[in-house]
Amino acid sequence: MKIQNLKWKCENRRILVLDERHSTTFIKKMNFDLEQIFFLNMHSLTIYVLPLVKFAIKKLITVDFSIKNIKALYLLSIIDAVNPSFIFSAVDNNKNYWLLKNYFPGIKVFLFQNGLRGIGSLKTREHFYLEGENLEVDHIFVMTKNEKQWYAKNNLKAKYVHVCGSIKNNEIEVNSKVQGSTLVYLLQYKHHDYLKSDQQLSRYLNASGEFVSYEDIYGKNILILEALEDFCKRNTLDFQIFGRAKDPETAREERSYLEHLGFGHISYKFKTTEVETYQYLDRMAFIVTLSSTLGHEMLSRGRPVFFWGVRHWAGKDQIFGYGQFGVRGEFWTIDLDLASVTPLLSRFIAFTASDWSTFYEKYSAAILPLDSKNIRFNRALQRAMS
């Protein structure tokens, strides 16, 4: 969080959008009049002086010292000044947003899931959510049926939960023309000093509830990349790594990381826009990922995707919703034993369109539904706002 600008005041709007960096991607495509929307970037802050002073004075006069977080005070002061009817955010795992109705019960809060969070025990999510009380929103739009079931069973009060798949993914037209025979590995890299990865803690927990090092997490990339490179050679497949980068600078860091691991010779690709990313991967014959949301989105778009779920959260191997069907299945596994994985990969690349059709039906609770052009989503949104 950094202060980018100072302004005297902000205007009233019907809709307040929190966290512009994540949310504008699809909110600007929802057919709203942009004059009705106030976009608030919670990463590069613009300090609105008058609303902040007025709100702080109001709390002092009422002897209300419940707000101890300066970022929360800033956020609440903006909401008070904008006085919206609706608050939207595509950051569904920010505790502050789940607490807003404690302060503004008359404003409807809508959250839109922008990434899969994993289905498992309550401990899996308490790191995000369960540090406060009265966590409630009016509507949350989630990606899968499993997510909806999770909210129904646990301590998060969402009055209405809608299953709509990935809103970003739905918006982009599917390109179904596969070109060549390429197997792509989706690199899940986050910035860290990979030269000293054993000295840096990630946000992932082990079975004891302790944060594990980046070396524990990303060290598995070496094993997986070696296995996939060998598998592709033996099955005459082109092997490619697709990065998370959206700009040349981040791409250079990812390339350097791969070179450090000893895989600088493997073809590396990245795209700068989401449209290019989805439509490029649409043309790939096979996709392998650890557990990325992008992999789940590509499966919803009809691409064969294999989930090698060897990353840990709260001491559990994460394959998101597929864990309820077993530790391994037609297109997923948590095995690190290559003798066990290789037959699964061989079977994976041999599946027919008919096989995949069966899988989509069999695992419909875990697979993201594809709502082309967000037709069902927009209908549900309009009903919720009426």
Per-residue pLDDT tens digits for 56-110: 777 766 656 566 667 778 888 889 899 999 999 988 877 778 888 988 999 999 9
Is the pLDDT at 225 greater than 60? The verdict is yes
Is the separation of the CB atoms in 277 and 184 below 8 Å? no
Query: What per-residue confidence (pLDDT) applies to 30?
Result: 77
Residue 339 exposure: Cα atoms within 13 Å on the Cβ side: 0
Is the separation of the CB atoms in 200 and 192 below 8 Å? yes
Domain 172-362 CATH superfamily: Glycogen Phosphorylase B; (3.40.50.2000)
CA nearest neighbour of 308 among 319, 295, 297, 322: 319
Collapsed DSSP state (helix, strand, coil) of residue 90: coil
Is the pLDDT at 26 greater than 80? The verdict is no
Query: What per-residue confidence (pLDDT) applies to 45?
Result: 72
Tell me what the mean pLDDT of segment 160-166 comes to. Answer: 91
pTM of the model: 0.83
Is the pLDDT at 129 greater than 50? The verdict is no
Query: What per-residue confidence (pLDDT) applies to 256?
Result: 93
CA nearest neighbour of 288 among 326, 250, 248, 235: 235
Q: How far apart are CA 367 and CA 352, in angstroms?
A: 18
> Tell me: the pLDDT tens digits for 226-284?
999 999 999 999 999 999 999 999 999 999 999 988 999 999 999 998 889 999 999 99
The CATH label, of 3.40.50, 1.20.1420, 2.40.50, 1.10.8, for the domain at 2-165+372-385 is 3.40.50
User: Is the pLDDT higher at 240 or at 216?
Assistant: 240
Q: How far apart are CA 179 and CA 175, in angstroms?
A: 11
Q: How far apart are CA 28 and CA 365, in angstroms?
A: 29
DSSP 8-state class, residue 266: S
Query: What per-residue confidence (pLDDT) applies to 11?
Result: 87
Question: Would you list the domain boundaries of the chain?
Answer: 2-165+372-385, 172-362
Tell me what the mean pLDDT of segment 35-58 comes to. Answer: 79
Is the pLDDT at 19 greater than 90? The verdict is no
Query: What per-residue confidence (pLDDT) applies to 122?
Result: 35
* pLDDT level of residue 207 (50, 70, 90 thresholds): low
Is the pLDDT at 157 greater than 50? The verdict is yes
Q: How far apart are CA 204 and CA 313, in angstroms?
A: 5
> Tell me: the pLDDT tens digits for 343-367?
999 999 999 999 999 999 999 888 8
Ranked by mean pLDDT, which of 64-78, 158-172, 323-337 comes out on top? 158-172
DSSP 8-state class, residue 45: E
Query: What per-residue confidence (pLDDT) applies to 304?
Result: 96
- Report the chain's mean pLDDT, rounded to a whole number: 82
Tell me what the mean pLDDT of segment 142-158 comes to. Answer: 77
Q: How far apart are CA 122 and CA 110, in angstroms?
A: 22
* Same fold across 2-165+372-385 and 172-362: yes
CA distances from residue 45 to 9, 21, 41, 98 in whole angstroms, order as listed: 14, 12, 6, 20
User: Is the pLDDT higher at 27 or at 222?
Assistant: 222
Burial profile 230-246: b = 16 or more Cβ within 10 angstroms, e = fewer: ebbeeeebebbbbbbbe
DSSP-derived pairing of the beta strands 37-40 and 182-186? unpaired
Is the pLDDT at 121 greater than 50? The verdict is no
**Lowest mean pLDDT across 46-55, 280-289, 330-339:** 46-55
Query: What per-residue confidence (pLDDT) applies to 315?
Result: 42
Query: What per-residue confidence (pLDDT) applies to 63?
Result: 58
